[in-house]
Amino acid sequence: MTHTVCLVPGDGIGPEVTSAAKRVIEAAGVDIEWVSLPAGETGIEFLRSPLPERTIAAIIGHGTALKGPISTPIAGGHGNVSVKLRQRLGLSAAVRPIKSMPGVKAPHSNVDLIIIRENTEGLFCGIENEVAPGVIQALKVCTVEASTRIAKFTFEYALSHDRRKVTVFHRADLLKKTDGLLLRCARKVHRDFADRINYEEMIIDSGCMQLVRNPSQFDVILLDSLTGGMVSSVAAGLIGGPGMVPSASFGPQCVLFEPVHGCAPDIARKGIANPLACILSGAMMLEHLGEDAAASRIRSACELALSRGDALVLTPDLGGSGSTTSLTDAVIRALK
Ligand code: NAD
């Protein structure tokens, strides 16, 4: 069967890692017709918009997309393109598996947890106002609808993926109404799952400390948009860095798969970006498309390529002297 998938290569290392993922998916024997779409710098160059309407419409039309990171100017310029894209597509739930891989030098070797992030509300609404000269406010928007939706998604995901515990990270001691709303919704939804899934709440400050000291105590962690991004990056550091964490964002009309890392402008076009986060995002996508066997072969091939520990193959972030191409080739060779 041929699948049609939108491909948004993105900026910086985006085109390098998405083409690596494409090569691996093709080598795994899955037939995909790719619809390449501009966003970010290519959107501005070809359609005078960082987020062209054509790109949004095509993703909704085809239902599935693989995306690279997109750059956003800091402290000025246009808004965050990836956040805007997720909002426009209604991709309210992001799933980020944080899993140790064999052979990777990292602070921990036994991490296996899932971060679930509410993608569309909170401070990610990006609403800022100057209320008086020199006084700026940012609005943290939280609704019962989105908080209940992400809580339901999280418990259902935990149940269907054989997970036993959900922990909500929050600052509801301080933000009693906004973070408090997420807690109230999570507690209410948990009642329907109480016999099957354990539930706990942690003030995020303590949660981060415990995550770094003893990550194996966590199973599924639920967070809001802003803190979800931060904690995902901390968790990536636990298993070997930003090049290791894939993600999937789910909405009612479509699903988007992308590495958690950014465009890495410091290494763009040097051919040394770690492609694994994007390749593993591709594996998550194949599972979504019903290609479970290919997804599992790709995951095993990534593990095998890493466990061989060949310094000439591994990218510099993994301690090697290899390249995006050498690591991608090694994954393809390891496909069984
Ligand atoms: P970043 O993830 O791009 O880079 C942080 C560090 O990690 C850099 O040293 C980089 O070289 C390294 N790194 C990241 N991915 C890597 C990989 N695959 N292999 C090896 N090393 C890797 O984060 P940043 O510097 O905070 O952001 C840079 C740009 O990316 C910004 O414009 C930001 O807006 C954008 N960004 C986009 C997304 C997205 O589109 N999903 C996510 C985060 C950041």
- Chain segment 291-329, per-residue pLDDT in tens: 999 999 999 999 999 999 999 999 999 999 999 999 999
Binding pocket residue ranges, ligand 1, CB within 6 Å: 13, 17, 69-72, 82, 242-243, 258, 261-267, 273-274, 277, 317
CATH 3.40.718.10 in the chain, residue ranges: 1-101+242-336, 107-238
Q: What is the pLDDT of residues 132-191, one digit of tens each?
A: 999 999 999 999 999 999 999 999 999 999 999 999 999 999 999 999 999 999 999 999
pTM assigned to the model? 0.97
Angstrom distances, CA of residue 244 to CA of 28, 90, 153, 230, 235: 20, 26, 24, 15, 10
Specify the fold of 1-101+242-336: Isopropylmalate Dehydrogenase (3.40.718)
Cα separation, 327 vs 78, in Å, equals: 35
Q: Whose CA is nearest to atom 5 of ligand 1?
A: 264
**Is the pLDDT confidence value at 249 over 90?**
yes
Q: Which atom of ligand 1 is nearest to the CA of 13?
A: 18
The β-bridge partners of 128 are 138
Q: Which CATH superfamily is domain 107-238 in?
A: Isopropylmalate Dehydrogenase (3.40.718.10)
Taking residues 194-219, what's their average pLDDT?
98
Q: What is the pLDDT of residue 336?
A: 75
Ligand 1 centroid–CA 293 distance in Å is: 30
Residue 328 sits at the vertex; the CA angle it makes with 327 and 333, to the nearest 5 degrees, is 95
Q: What is the pLDDT of residue 166?
A: 98
Q: What is the DSSP letter of 76?
A: S
